[in-house]
Structure 1
Amino acid sequence: MSAESPRGSVRSRGRIYRCPVCGAELAVLVAGAGRLSPRCCNVDMVPTDRRLAFYVCMVCGAEVALLRRAGGRLSLRCCNEDMVPQAA
């Protein structure tokens, strides 16, 4: 099975899909080996150019995903340590 399909990567952690009809969005948090084919309003959802940014705690392994960056200074901390960016 190819890692790429016409609709995006099969293993697409962090990918955001949008419904072209109603605007609903979903995000892939844990990618599996199968081919994700999300549908909404009886049509295929479309992958967007946006992706979630993931951060991990190097002490306990907790993971968070940044949904939207605002103008403020973001400081993600866990176990009294800075969380580090992780590849999606």
Structure 2
Amino acid sequence: LMSAVYDATMAGHRAPARPREVIGESWQRLIASGMHDRTPDDVPVVETGGLEMLRRSSGLLDVLDEISHGLESLVVDGDNILVVAD
């Protein structure tokens, strides 16, 4: 059900159910920032040098170790994974 709610929300359609408030707010922030599901034709191509520059300028590298270590207890047994997108 959650997958259908997410898909409908991101597509701008009426969802079959409402997500928890914190989840819905997070999705609305994604939509407001221009994030959405993309088809392969919509994905912008960034050259390697440009990608490295974007990664450095995002500020994420500065906090990645702290984030990883802070969440290590949740991912150490392999039941969860930590995914970070810059």
Using structure 1 for the length normalisation, give the TM-score: 0.18
Structure scoring higher RCO (CA < 8 A, sep ≥ 6) equals 1
Using structure 2 for the length normalisation, give the TM-score: 0.18
More strand by proportion, 1 or 2?
Answer: 1
- Structure with bigger gyration radius: 2
More helix by proportion, 1 or 2?
Answer: 2
